[in-house]
Structure 1
Amino acid sequence: MTTGTAPNAATPHPPTDGAGPHFVLSRPHGTVTAHGVADTIADPAEAVARVRAGHVIAGALPFDVREPAALTVPGRLDVTSTPFPVGTPPGVPAVTVRRHLPTPAEHTRRVSDAVTRLRETSLRKVVLARAVELDAAEPLDHRAVLARLVAADPSGNGYSVDLSPAGGDHRGVRLVGSSPEVLIRRQGRTVTCHPLAGSAPRDPDPDLDAALGRALAESTKDLTEHSYVVESLKESLAPLCTDIEVPSGPVLATTPQLWHLGTPLRATLRDPRVSALELALAVHPTPAVCGTPTDEAMRTILDVEGGRGFYAGAVGWSDASGDGEWMVAIRCAQIAADGLRVVAHAGGGIVAASEPNSELDETTTKFGTIMAALGVTD
């Protein structure tokens, strides 16, 4: 294990909830854990300046970066070379569905309206999401949910972030999830990202499962949707990077629930002072979670859904040298401070060729990651 300590002017103090680290990011290549809070930061621009001044930053960015972020200067940042250790996944109390927001019927209507708009305006893609509110019979332990998410993911992906630094209703709230999508990673001057866009459900039958993957790889609708994301990332990275390497086409990636189209990008940072956090802010939100053109898609989402909070934002860290990693905050849920209320989100990219019922089914499949971790069968 290697340990880095943030250089802080303030005196470090432990998280107020007494429930362990306030930030955990588990990845196949290692786990980053933040302990103690020297300072909290709600303004991403301030956080960028703090990294440039030699501080460590960890936490979460909201979907709409005009809203408060949940970032901290930790007292200590621990980095290991293995995923988060879980052992035997712990149990969780019974969790039941309270209601869907919006109802499935309303979501399909929204998708239908969006398709009409896509065919009649300059909007080319918009990501529409829906939420499920859940109730726990007893307080949920976010550490148990994280352990179950990591144990269920073959790559060991998982994260848990205290959203208290964002203030207001976020005090004591935990964002817990298992994201397969790398928004940005910086190691020295090497920058990588791995956007995912275009999805298909998995199937227990190996032959049918393979056929579903092949169909996704050949889907004109999904390939078009994916290309919007790749082109956007190239454009966003160009002012900050050189030698941007993009494969000739996407590759198939999997989670236990879904096939995805993914494209690994690699580039060289122009200015070594630019941190992973700055890079994340430069590319977020990508068309994978928002749409294209970005401004028009964002307006559509805010008009249709209202605020998303930290769903479809980013979770990650930057160390004092600027290295770090930020994941797209998907396959997640927010656990209330009392542990009794949970809100999960799932969304899908809508293009002119989208079919409303299929888009509804896609969100249901995407809910599977967090629902399985919570033990929800309905």
Structure 2
Amino acid sequence: MHHPADLLAAYLPGSFYYSSPRGSLLADGILTTVQAAHGHRAAAVAETLDSVATAGIERPLVVGAIGFRPDAQTSLVVPAVVRRAGKPDAAADATRSVFGLARWSVTPRPEPAAYAAQVRKALARIDAGGLDKVVLARCLELSADDKIAVPDLLARLVRADPAAHAFAVDVTAPGDPAIRTLLGASPELLVSRRGRQVVANPLAGSLPRAADDAENQRRIAALLGSDKDRREHAHVVHQVAEVLGQFCADVQVPAEPAVVGTPTMWHLSSRVVGEIADPHDPGSSALAMAEALHPTPAVCGVPTVTARDAIAELEPEDRGYYSGLVGWTNVDGDGEWVVTIRSAEVCEREVRMFAGAGIVAGSDPEAELAETSAKFRTLLRALGLEELT
């Protein structure tokens, strides 16, 4: 077993890095890739892993990312070398940020006022009926005057919040001359499986974190008491429990949500736990459950198809990998997949990041705009550019 800091230091663009409270993983090289259509990826992964194991590879796994839309690009590979370590240390990041010293140009897509107008359009649709919730995202495109050091950016994300699900995935499209990396620090566990135990931890309902302790306590109380946020959260938890019920004989849902914090946000959180009947069933792998859960109402809406259509119409930018899923699954079906939020795609001097907010009846367009600004801060802080929101 390696030390977590060693894996982080050994990361280079093109590798796959993933860390969470469960541990750290660094994968290099490609034995084979997995290509399959939406709804068939878990089966293709299981077949590929069985084939690789039969060929003599000990305990193989698939790592990678899947985009938001059913037809989105995917990056799923069986790596040649895998190193593991414990969870990242909670040591403070003593590395001085050099990113903020660069000159940057920033293009918001859409402009903040246009995003608020989109929220008002979504609220009109909700009032008209047929749509209960939709998650609308906005994008920031940043360009620096020098090449961005992806390993340094990943290290700052991990050290800023060691409890997050941090990741870096090579998502370079075929034929692209430069490496494109999807990286982030997601607070939201989509699903994990270890033997029979299944855990999902949906988050929905959010407020920005304050600098003052007393104000944070007020915001936590406000979040717990918010009818709008609790309704938004209930949409997500209900769907997650319903989907896991297709795989698990017993699903336990907390009676009340808790509040969990990141360095920039407070979220309503529910830890949903289940137990599968047959851990050897390839149809119950971690990826199979992740595919069934995706997209949850936390990143799409209710009903799913109607919300996804509204997103395609109202959002000017294709989300790509944002609000998709990233993680790993091994030959036994165990694994861990998280929702691809608090993330960005980085290529050479360019950074493209998204942040979204859940729109339900009673949402305030300016408050939702402020929520997206707060969510951008995870990446902007790591770049030394928090003031840009």
Normalised to the residue count of structure 2, the TM-score between the two structures is 0.88
- Compute the displacement of 1:282 (Å): 1.0
Query: SS at 2:31's partner residue?
Result: strand
Partner of 1:374: 383
Pick the aligned partner of 2:308 from 294, 298, 303.
Answer: 298
In the alignment, what sits opposite 1:328?
A: 339
2:327 equivalent among 297, 316, 331:
316
- CA positional deviation for 1:303: 1.6
Would you say 1:197 and 2:204 are equivalent positions? Answer: yes
Structure 2 counterpart of 1:115, from 119, 123, 127: 123
Does structure 2 retain, via aligned residues, the 8 Å contact 1:95–1:374?
A: no
Query: Per the alignment, do residues 228 and 156 of structure 1 end up closer, same or farther by CA in structure 2, a change over 3 Å counting?
Result: closer
Q: Which residue number in structure 1 is paired with residue 76 of structure 2? A: 71
Sequence identity, in percent?
Answer: 39
Q: In structure 2, what is the Cα distance between the partners aligned to 1:180 and 1:170?
A: 32
CA distance in 1, matches of 2:365, 2:256: 27
User: Does 1:128 pair with 2:136?
Assistant: yes
Q: Separation in 2 of the partners of 1:51 and 1:233?
A: 27
8 Å contact from structure 1 (residues 90, 147) kept in 2? no
Paired position in structure 2 for 1:57: 62
Amino acid at match of 2:110: P
Letter in 2 for 1:298: R
Gaps of 5+ in 1: 4-17
Bigger mean CA offset, 40-49 vs 288-297: 40-49
Aligned to 1:27: 20
Q: Is the 8 A contact 1:27 1:155 kept in 2?
A: yes
Q: How far 1:343 sits from its partner (Å)? A: 0.5
Distance in 1 (CA, whole Å) between partners of 2:75 and 2:178 is 10
- Tell whether the 8 Å contact from 2:167 to 2:185 is kept in structure 1 after alignment: yes
Greater Cα shift, 145-154 or 77-86: 77-86
What residue number does 1:105 align with?
A: 113
Alignment of 1:1-378 (within 5 A): 1=1, 19=12, 22-43=15-36, 44-45=41-42, 46-51=44-49, 53=51, 54=53, 55-83=60-88, 88-89=94-95, 91-93=97-99, 94=102, 96-155=104-163, 157-164=165-172, 167=174, 172-272=179-279, 273=281, 274-305=284-315, 306-336=317-347, 339-376=348-385, 377-378=387-388
User: How many residues of Structure 1 are paired with residues of Structure 2 in the alignment?
Assistant: 361
Report the alpha carbon displacement of residue 228 of structure 1 after superposing the two structures with TM: 0.4
Check 1:29–1:215 CA distance in 2 against 1; reply closer, same or farther (3 A cut). same
Distance apart, 1:41 and its partner CA = 2.5
**In 2, distance between residues paired with 1:361 and 1:231?**
27
Shift of 1:98: 2.0
Q: In the alignment, residue 384 of structure 2 is paired with which amino acid? A: G
1:20 and 1:298, CA in 2 relative to 1: closer, same or farther beyond 3 A?
closer
* Structure 1 residue identity aligned to 2:276: L
> Any idea what SS the aligned residue of 1:37 has?
coil
1:29 CA drift (Å): 2.9
CA deviation profile, 1:22-79 (whole Å, cap 9, x unmatched): 2111112311111111122242252243245554100101111322211111012222
Task: Give the conservation status (yes or no) of the 8 Å contact 1:127–1:347.
Answer: yes
* Secondary structure, aligned partner of 1:178: strand
Higher deviation after alignment, 166-175 or 265-274: 166-175
Paired residue secondary structure (1:302): helix
Which segment is superposed worse, 72-81 or 106-115? 72-81
**Once the 2 structures are TM-superposed, how far is the Cα of residue 169 of structure 1 from its aligned partner?**
5.7
